[in-house]
Structure 1
Amino acid sequence: MKKRRRPVHLHVMLSEAERDQIQDRMDEAGVRNMSAYVRKMALNGYVLHVDLSPVRELVSLQRRCSNNLNQVAVTANTYGGIYPDDIRRLQQDYADLWGPLSELLKQISEIVAL
């Protein structure tokens, strides 16, 4: 039988309301393992929950920029030239990407400063 990494058992009695409150906080933090959550809270006193929805939007913008760049590259290689509108569209897509990215980095730096 292999040794457990954490061999000490800790038993805590809770009311149903307290358990529900812990479960709600776990859901807010995106944690599924109650043992890991309780251990983290007991040792560190807090769990940092990061809303990644702005990152998802940035990934979507980045994909769109990459697709547009690939289409322009195919056009340039096939026909030997690029239309000025294609270049302007790429520039606009990258501008759309850098604005939210700068804002996200600013928010992250504020969180880290806490």
Structure 2
Amino acid sequence: MSNRQRNIRIQLRVTEQEKELIEQKMQELGTKNTEAYLRKMAIDGLIIHLDTADVRELVRVLRVTSNSLNQLTKRVHETGSIYGEDIEDLRKSYDRLWGAAEEIMLRLAAI
């Protein structure tokens, strides 16, 4: 919705301390648009901000595991053989991947 459609203005007076708290909450959420933040809070009363650091770590582990699998597959096609150590490394990567996924799901379930 554009600002042109939002033609009704609502003014809000706050103390300096309240203003600082609002700015602190906005900073925690990573937003700089005060109008959008206040509108969202007034309408929904709740903003959920998810820390995606765990998801980024999961993606990193997934990328490492995928790369290992691709390298292993290429080597098997080239040489026709596979080493137990390679399979063990891949298994450990998958264990880390599933462990990270489980941890994320437990944290999300607790929200």
Superposition TM-score, scaled by structure 2 size: 0.88
Q: Which runs of 5+ in 2 are unaligned?
A: none
Percent identity (aligned): 37
For 1:44, the aligned partner's letter is D
SS in 1 for 2:110: helix
Q: CA separation in 2, counterparts of 1:109 and 1:48?
A: 14
**Relative to 1, partners in 2 of residues 1:11 and 1:3: Cα closer, same or farther, differing over 3 Å?**
closer
Aligned pairs (5 A) from 1:1-114: 4-111=4-111
SS in 2 for 1:57: helix
**CA drift at 1:99:** 0.9
Aligned residues: 110
Q: CA separation in 1, counterparts of 2:22 and 2:109?
A: 29
Q: Which runs of 5+ in 1 are unaligned?
A: none
For 2:86, the aligned partner's letter is D
**CA drift at 1:53:** 1.3
Residues 54 and 104 in structure 1, CA contact (< 8 A), matched pair in contact too: yes
RMSD: 1.7
Superposition TM-score, scaled by structure 1 size: 0.86
User: Which piece of structure 1 moves more, 2-11 or 83-92?
Assistant: 2-11
**CA drift at 1:6:** 1.6
**CA drift at 1:79:** 1.2
Q: CA separation in 2, counterparts of 1:79 and 1:7?
A: 70
**CA drift at 1:3:** 7.8
Q: CA separation in 1, counterparts of 2:5 and 2:59?
A: 38
Where does structure 1 differ by over 6 angstroms across 4 or more consecutive aligned residues? none
SS in 2 for 1:49: coil
**CA drift at 1:14:** 2.7
